[in-house]
Structure 1
Amino acid sequence: MTILVAGATGKTGLLLVQELLDQGHKPTALVRESSDTSALPQGVDLRRGDLTNLHDGVCDGMDAVIFAAGSGGSTGPEMTDKVDRDGARRLTDLARDAGVTRFVMLSSVGADQTDPTGELAHYLKAKHATDEHLMASGLTYAIVRPVALSNDARGADVILGENVDKSAKASRADVAHVLAEAATTGRFDGIAQDMQSA
């Protein structure tokens, strides 16, 4: 499969594109002009595009799209809105217009709430709006909502759905594996679910 990955140069994204390559798929990294692509593995194609200002056609020729990007923990609410909400929704629309088969969203635990509170409230509102937009888009979708991320190695298993402990951790390696599986197998089509490492 040809798979566009937004956020491919991030910690989770790098693991994801390697996972896709290992499975025999053809990942394409959506990168800004200023992105450092030196850590991307050989075999990953590049497609230029900025999530704050995506151009038409960015999803053309893709079988699936995975949104694994984020504005980053050091940015403010404005950039969260531009990337995590507006950029993700624009990418969803472009994927639909391009006839993409499946869209996989890396979301967050708590994004199912319509009115979250606490220090992550703005971020979770942006993620909620994005998830809702994807679910209403008409695209075949899967939404993965991991708990707090860690840099641990991939574990023996993951826990998905209602049995997730929201205070637990999810390794980025496990998240990357689930995202790849969601994009390539259809196992999680039409599902939005929490996730943790077992």
Structure 2
Amino acid sequence: MRVVIAGGHGKIALLLARSLTSAGDEVAALIRNPEHAADVRAAGAEPILFDVENTATDRLLAVVTGSDAVVFAAGAGQGSGVARKYTVDSGGSVRLAEAAEQVGTQRFLQISTMGAGQPPARGSDKVWAAYIDAKTQAENDLRARNLNWTILRPGRLIDTAGTGLVTLAPPPVGRGDVPRADVAAVLTALLPAAHTFGMTVELVSGSTPISQAIAQLSD
């Protein structure tokens, strides 16, 4: 399986690339900064210089062509302002999903966030409010597309070791933390899980093994 990951130098993306390539899959990781290429290669993936905000659409189509799945793991990141929440977290996902539709790549995983799909809490910082709104827009766009999509909303991301034990279910799931390693492991297991096509699921640490948690989504 060939998987294209947008936001290929992100912490979750690197963990996901390592997981997929160790299982024999091929990963193309889209990165903006050429200095990140070595980290991507160390994770077993092929680095591809690509700016989801500005690179021409024909190049994006060429990158996605021939892939079996696409994962949107990009984000404007800390320190970015309101405008880039929309151009990256929303606009980047829209561009990637549109390209996947055009070239016939059906499987699309989108990393969203807990809190998407609802108005930001009253009094929220304007950048946070824009982030939630942008993620909501990206989700809504994806739901309208003819793709085998799954939207994953993790809770607060932490860098502790993965436990392999989660709570994974359609919303609402109570807020909580989740190690990035467990997010990557869930994404790996979701990719071939056809029963999750068209589902939005939320993820925090819990007590259920990942394989069992994903299997239970068919209940």
Structure 1 length as normaliser, TM-score?
Answer: 0.92
Q: By percentage of residues, which structure has more helix? A: 2
Q: Is the 8 A contact 1:181 1:187 kept in 2?
A: no
Indicate the structure whose relative CO is greater, using CA pairs within 8 Å and at least 6 residues apart: 1
Structure 1: 4+ residue segments shifted above 6 A: none
Q: Which residue of 2 aligns with 1:47?
A: 48
More moved, 59-68 vs 155-164: 155-164
SS in structure 1 of the partner of residue 78 of structure 2: coil
Aligned residue identity for 1:15: L
| Aligned pairs for 1:28-177 within 5 A | 28-32=28-32, 34-40=34-40, 41=42, 43-54=44-55, 55-56=57-58, 57=61, 58-113=63-118, 115-117=119-121, 118-119=124-125, 120-161=128-169, 162=171, 164-166=173-175, 168-177=176-185
Query: How many percent of aligned residue pairs carry the same amino acid?
Result: 34
**Gaps (5+ residues) in structure 1?**
none
CA RMSD of aligned residues (A): 1.6
Q: Which residue of 1 aligns with 2:205?
A: 197
Structure 2 length as normaliser, TM-score?
Answer: 0.84
Superposed CA deviations along residues 52-89 of structure 1, whole A, max 9, x for unmatched, are 12432131111000011110011101111111011111
Cα 1:46/1:196, change in 2 over 3 Å: same
Aligned residue identity for 2:45: V
Cα 1:35/1:108, change in 2 over 3 Å: farther
SS in structure 1 of the partner of residue 200 of structure 2: strand
Structure 1 position 175, deviation (Å): 0.5
Superposed CA deviations along residues 9-54 of structure 1, whole A, max 9, x for unmatched, are 1111111100111222111111225451221225312333211124
| Number of equivalences | 196
Aligned residue identity for 1:97: Q
Q: Which residue of 2 aligns with 1:181?
A: 189
Larger Rg over CA atoms:
2
CA–CA distance in 2 between the matches of 1:20 and 1:159? 22
SS in structure 1 of the partner of residue 157 of structure 2: strand
Q: Is the 8 A contact 1:4 1:29 kept in 2?
A: yes
